[in-house]
Amino acid sequence: MIEPETIAKVAELMVKARRAVVLTGAGVSAESGVPTFRGKDGFWRDEDVTQLATLKGFLADPKKVWEWYDWRRGQLKEVEPNPGHYALAEWEKTVVGRGGSYSLITQNIDGLHEHAGSKNILELHGNIWYARCLKGCTAELKYLPDTPLPEYPPPCPWCNSILRPHVVWFGEQLDPAITEESFTVSGAADLILVVGTSAQVYPAAGLPYVTSRAGGTVVEINLEPTELSYAADFALHGKSGEILPELMDKVKELGG
Ligand code: BJW
């Protein structure tokens, strides 16, 4: 339970924010039933799984990696956004409605923010519902909404290669335009909410520090303390699916 004074202070900052940024990680989707990576039931607890999420692992066995991603896609097909996702979409409407800017930077590949109605989303680590040519024969993405897929790996529709999931694996470059915009908006933000991320994976983990160094306020919302908690102006510990709606209720009460 967060102190009501803390909720009120953060809600006041949310009402005043002119350049609002949110950075989310797997924890924001946990209450929808999506496993996190480093938590007790997280994907990364099994070392072999870490090997699946690398280009090296994919090249060694594309069929096995596609089977794993398609299994995750099947799980995601069954889930819905939770009250945390909806509260963020609602905050975007209020900020934009009073002429401010709002960017939601997510490390998640599940598409749940869009499903909940968020508009200005920067997907840092890609999106599991898209695939692209392994050889990069075109910049075009292939939307693959159906699961299970008829064959693993799916063939590239544009050349004789195969498709790979449109996600960012360890050691891979992030999309430069999305990364640049994420750093720009974080540097300009008067408020950043950092929700449900262990804040261990870079460059995403560096974004709140960019905001902080530029004079913006950093609010962390996480089930447990992280390294970022020490640098954050406010660290709210609890479920984002409960804290975010509570904050939004207060924002509305304050007329924001
Ligand atoms: C709740 C909750 C509830 C639970 N409510 N909270 C600088 C320094 C050191 C290293 C590097 C660096 N720059 C780059 C690197 C290397 C590397 C890196 O960061 N390594 C670190 C681990 C040390 N980064 C990269 O390789 C990146 N590429 C890059 O930077 O390219 C340039 C470059 C290359 C090589 C060298 C140098 C530069 C790419 C990173 C790609 C990450 N990919 C993955 C997989 C995506 C595809 C897939 O899903 O299969 O992305 S890994 C995985 O981690 C996934 C996530 O997006 C990402 C972050 O995890 P997240 O979201 O934080 O989840 P968890 O599980 O860790 O945490 C969940 C949190 O939620 C917990 O804190 C819970 O408490 C909380 N929680 N329930 C609120 N209900």
Tens place of pLDDT per residue across the chain (256 aa): 899 999 999 999 999 999 999 999 999 999 999 999 887 777 766 666 667 889 999 999 999 999 999 999 999 999 999 999 999 999 999 999 999 999 999 999 999 999 999 999 999 999 999 999 999 999 999 999 999 999 999 999 999 999 999 999 989 999 999 999 999 999 999 999 999 999 999 999 999 999 999 999 999 999 999 999 999 999 999 999 999 999 999 999 998 7
pTM above 0.85, yes or no: yes
List all residues 6 or more positions away from 71 whose beta carbon is below 8 Å from its beta carbon: none
Residue 37 Cβ inside 6 Å of ligand 1? The answer reads yes
Which pLDDT belongs to residue 174? 98
In this structure, the answer to whether residues 232 and 156 fall within a common structural domain is no
**CATH code for the domain in which residue 211 is found:** 3.40.50.1220
In this structure, the answer to whether residues 194 and 249 fall within a common structural domain is yes
CA gap 105, 166 in Å, rounded: 17
Which atom from ligand 1 is nearest to the alpha carbon of 108?
Answer: 57
Query: Quick one: tokens of 116?
Result: 């909940």
In this structure, the answer to whether residues 151 and 245 fall within a common structural domain is no
Closest CA to ligand 1's atom 2? 27
List all residues 6 or more positions away from 149 whose beta carbon is below 8 Å from its beta carbon: 66, 70
* Structural domain total, the chain: 2
Q: Ligand 1 centroid vs 155 CA: distance in angstroms?
A: 29
In this structure, the answer to whether residues 194 and 228 fall within a common structural domain is yes
Which pLDDT belongs to residue 47? 60
Which pLDDT belongs to residue 164? 98
Domain boundary, last residue among 141, 167, 193 = 167
Residue 26 Cβ inside 6 Å of ligand 1? The answer reads yes
Q: Which domain does 159 fall in, by range?
A: 35-78+131-167
Closest CA to ligand 1's atom 9? 202
In this structure, the answer to whether residues 229 and 151 fall within a common structural domain is no
> Residue 93: how many CB atoms within 10 A of its CB?
13
Q: Ligand 1 centroid vs 250 CA: distance in angstroms?
A: 31
In this structure, the answer to whether residues 186 and 70 fall within a common structural domain is no
List all residues 6 or more positions away from 36 whose beta carbon is below 8 Å from its beta carbon: 25, 26, 27, 30, 42, 43, 196, 198
CA gap 42, 39 in Å, rounded: 5
In this structure, the answer to whether residues 22 and 139 fall within a common structural domain is no
Residue 27 Cβ inside 6 Å of ligand 1? The answer reads yes
List all residues 6 or more positions away from 167 whose beta carbon is below 8 Å from its beta carbon: 53, 69, 109, 125, 126, 127, 128
Residue 82 Cβ inside 6 Å of ligand 1? The answer reads no
Closest CA to ligand 1's atom 4? 27
Which pLDDT belongs to residue 53? 87
Which pLDDT belongs to residue 217? 98
Nearest-5° angle of CA 79, CA 111, CA 77? 30
In this structure, the answer to whether residues 57 and 69 fall within a common structural domain is yes
In this structure, the answer to whether residues 86 and 208 fall within a common structural domain is yes
In this structure, the answer to whether residues 40 and 102 fall within a common structural domain is no
Ligand 1 pocket test, pick from 75, 132, 170 with the greatest ligand atom count within 8 Å of Cβ, gives 170
In this structure, the answer to whether residues 54 and 136 fall within a common structural domain is yes
Residue 107 Cβ inside 6 Å of ligand 1? The answer reads yes
Domain boundary, last residue among 114, 145, 167 = 167
In this structure, the answer to whether residues 88 and 147 fall within a common structural domain is no
Q: Answer yes or no: 85 catalytic.
A: no
